[in-house]
């Protein structure tokens, strides 16, 4: 379901105020009563005093212009967005067999959960030095990983809980057979409003078209070097041409935007790659992002002196192109975004080691074998697979998810004395 305008942000005065025009006082009071729990009060924790999203009529100053037609198996639901966007969402969920919206997920620290990364496989066709041993790892058996139906059911429950951003990961997700079919299943779930995928790109040339046709709208491609020798050195595969061909194929589909390039920043390696990757961001419709090397390598060889920080990379770029200009991003964004001063290209810096963003984290992760992790660096996991397979209802699984999320860690503690590494490597968790 696509609306001409989105619902107002939680705890804000709404679309009219964002546009610079203050709503009438009566509308403001109504908005405050709905979203803040009473006139003039501070924003309350989501899921405590506030009413359900699905039971709220949008504030009067929210104008939803476009009628939405959603076709279902034996007919169609016509929802007039101007008068009844919430009612239309409820009818669509019911018609498709999905649960009505529930109280949103909020962790024990008051952070609302809106994003989930779901790993569809632990297998990968690369052997990146910062991720996996040259000989690979022991893969999960087929019966140990979640089925497409289980992933879709879990995603539907999470979407009803307000988790509308879904990213498919691995391992390398494109090695999972028939992955476009899973994308199609997830794209059909009401309230999944952002469906994306992270890939190494080697199979993207063949799969970009079916993925877009199935409903994928964003993609991240891991690419650490544009030099063939250095690419092979870090991935242990001679496959740069296939990755670049996959990117070129993705470019052909305007629906697939933005295309993001992720580069793991390692001191002593990445410095030489920065100029070429920055130039790539200027000549292609790619957002190039540098991610600080984290202690998630299977070899457990990580050390703090291997981290090339975002600040250091920014300095290298600005030496060549001049000062970068900050681009606004939502509070829960992992990346600090910048554009070049001439407006030609965008760069991002993800700095979990030097500038942790734990205080605004809205993410949870599900591993390929169905374990919920409330932090990338968790030592504890919650067995969602068992909950999906032991006959529990959607409501019972939602309660289980709430209980797990209430135990989400405050922060990852990478920079603190006594830090203990995550219980799995990145490929086993889901990147």
Residue 413 to residues 102, 106, 359, 399, 421: CA-CA distances in angstroms? 32, 21, 12, 28, 10
Please give the pLDDT value at position 283: 95
- Which residues on adjacent β-strands are paired with residue 326? 338
Please give the pLDDT value at position 96: 55
Please give the pLDDT value at position 320: 94
Q: How confident is the model at residue 100 (pLDDT cuts 50, 70, 90)?
A: low
Distance separating alpha carbons of residues 46 and 342, to the nearest angstrom: 41
pLDDT in tens, 216-257: 999 999 999 999 999 999 999 999 999 999 999 999 999 999
Please give the pLDDT value at position 101: 65
Whole-model pTM? 0.76
Please give the pLDDT value at position 330: 87
370's torsion region: left (phi>0), alpha (psi -120 to 50) or beta? left
Strands (DSSP E) contained in 277-369 are 286-292, 325-327, 336-339, 346-350, 363-366
pLDDT in tens, 19-29: 444 444 443 44
Please give the pLDDT value at position 303: 82
**Which backbone phi and psi does 377 adopt, to 5 degrees?**
-100, 20
Distance separating alpha carbons of residues 406 and 409, to the nearest angstrom: 9
Kindly state the average pLDDT of the residues 315-340. 94
Neighbour order of strands in the sheet with 382-383: 325-327, 336-339, 346-350, 286-292, 259-265, 218-222, 194-199, 165-169, 115-119, 363-366, 371-373, 382-383
Please give the pLDDT value at position 132: 83
Please give the pLDDT value at position 50: 33
Nearest to 60 by CA among 15, 123, 119, 105: 15
Instruction: Please report, in angstroms and rounded to a whole number, the separation of the first and last CA atoms in the chain.
Output: 29
Query: Does 10 score more than 70 pLDDT?
Result: no
Across the chain, what does the average pLDDT equal? 81
pLDDT in tens, 352-410: 999 988 989 999 999 999 999 999 888 899 999 999 999 999 999 999 999 999 999 99
CB 125 within 8 A of CB 291: no
Q: How confident is the model at residue 299 (pLDDT cuts 50, 70, 90)?
A: low
pLDDT in tens, 141-179: 999 999 999 999 999 999 999 999 999 999 999 999 999
Comparing 269 with 422, which gets the higher pLDDT? 269
Please give the pLDDT value at position 83: 38
Please give the pLDDT value at position 191: 94
Percentage of the chain beyond pLDDT 70 is: 76
Distance separating alpha carbons of residues 146 and 430, to the nearest angstrom: 13
Q: Ranked by mean pLDDT, which of 8-17, 53-62, 117-126, 326-335 comes out on top?
A: 117-126
Mean pLDDT is lowest, of 49-63, 95-109, 328-342, 377-391, for 49-63
Kindly state the average pLDDT of the residues 179-205. 97
Please give the pLDDT value at position 412: 87
Residue 132 to residues 36, 292, 343, 431: CA-CA distances in angstroms? 47, 17, 37, 12
Query: Does 351 score more than 60 pLDDT?
Result: yes
Comparing 89 with 139, which gets the higher pLDDT? 139
Mean pLDDT is lowest, of 31-40, 101-110, 228-237, 413-422, for 31-40
Mean pLDDT is lowest, of 20-29, 182-191, 289-298, for 20-29
- Which residues on adjacent β-strands are paired with residue 115? 165, 363
Please give the pLDDT value at position 97: 55
The CATH number fitting domain 115-360, selected from 3.40.50.2300, 2.30.30.90, 3.20.20.70, 3.40.50.720: 3.20.20.70
Q: How confident is the model at residue 298 (pLDDT cuts 50, 70, 90)?
A: low
Percentage of the chain beyond pLDDT 90 is: 62
Kindly state the average pLDDT of the residues 41-47. 37
Please state the domain extents for the chain: 15-96, 115-360
Kindly state the average pLDDT of the residues 321-343. 93
Strands (DSSP E) contained in 4-142 are 68-72, 75-79, 115-119
Mean pLDDT is lowest, of 194-208, 218-232, 267-281, 401-415, for 401-415
């Amino acid at each position: 379901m696509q609306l001409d305008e989105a619902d107002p942000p939680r705890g804000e005065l709404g679309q009219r105020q964002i546009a610079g025009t203050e709503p009438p006082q009566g509308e403001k009071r109504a908005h405050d009563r709905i979203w803040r729990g009473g006139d003039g009060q501070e924003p309350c924790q989501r899921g405590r005093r506030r009413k359900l999203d699905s039971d709220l009529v949008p504030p009067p100053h929210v104008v939803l212009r476009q009628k939405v037609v959603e076709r279902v198996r034996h007919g169609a639901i016509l929802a007039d967005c101007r008068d009844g966007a919430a009612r239309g969402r409820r009818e669509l969920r019911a018609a498709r067999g999905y649960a009505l919206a529930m109280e949103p997920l909020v962790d024990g620290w008051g952070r609302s959960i809106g994003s989930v990364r779901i790993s569809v496989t632990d297998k990968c066709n690369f052997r990146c030095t910062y991720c996996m041993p040259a000989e690979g790892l022991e893969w999960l058996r087929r019966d140990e990983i979640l089925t497409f139906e289980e992933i879709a059911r879990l995603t539907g429950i999470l979407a009803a809980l307000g988790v509308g951003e879904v990213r498919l990961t691995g391992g390398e997700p494109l090695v999972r057979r028939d992955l476009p079919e899973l994308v199609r299943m997830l794209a059909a779930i009401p309230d999944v409003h952002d469906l994306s995928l992270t890939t190494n790109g080697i199979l993207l040339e063949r799969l970009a078209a079916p993925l877009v046709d199935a409903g994928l709208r964003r993609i991240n491609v891991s690419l650490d070097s544009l030099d063939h020798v250095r690419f092979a050195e870090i991935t242990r595969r001679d496959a740069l041409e296939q990755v670049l061909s996959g990117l070129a194929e993705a470019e052909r589909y305007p629906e697939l935007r933005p295309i993001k390039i992720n580069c793991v920043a390692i001191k002593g390696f990445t410095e030489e790659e920065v100029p070429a990757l920055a130039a790539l961001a200027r000549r292609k419709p790619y957002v190039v992002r540098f991610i600080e090397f984290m202690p998630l390598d299977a070899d457990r060889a990580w050390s703090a002196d291997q981290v090339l920080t975002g600040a250091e990379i920014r300095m290298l770029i600005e030496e060549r192109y001049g000062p970068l200009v900050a681009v606004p991003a939502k509070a829960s964004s992992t990346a600090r975004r910048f554009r070049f001063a001439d407006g030609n290209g965008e760069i991002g810096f993800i700095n979990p080691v030097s500038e942790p963003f734990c205080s605004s984290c809205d993410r949870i992760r599900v591993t390929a074998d169905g374990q919920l992790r409330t932090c990338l660096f968790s030592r504890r996991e919650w067995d969602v697979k068992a909950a999906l397979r032991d006959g529990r209802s959607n409501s019972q699984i939602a309660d289980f998810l709430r209980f797990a999320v209430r135990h989400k860690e405050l922060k990852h503690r990478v920079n603190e004395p006594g830090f203990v590494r995550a219980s799995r490597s990145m490929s086993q968790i889901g990147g």
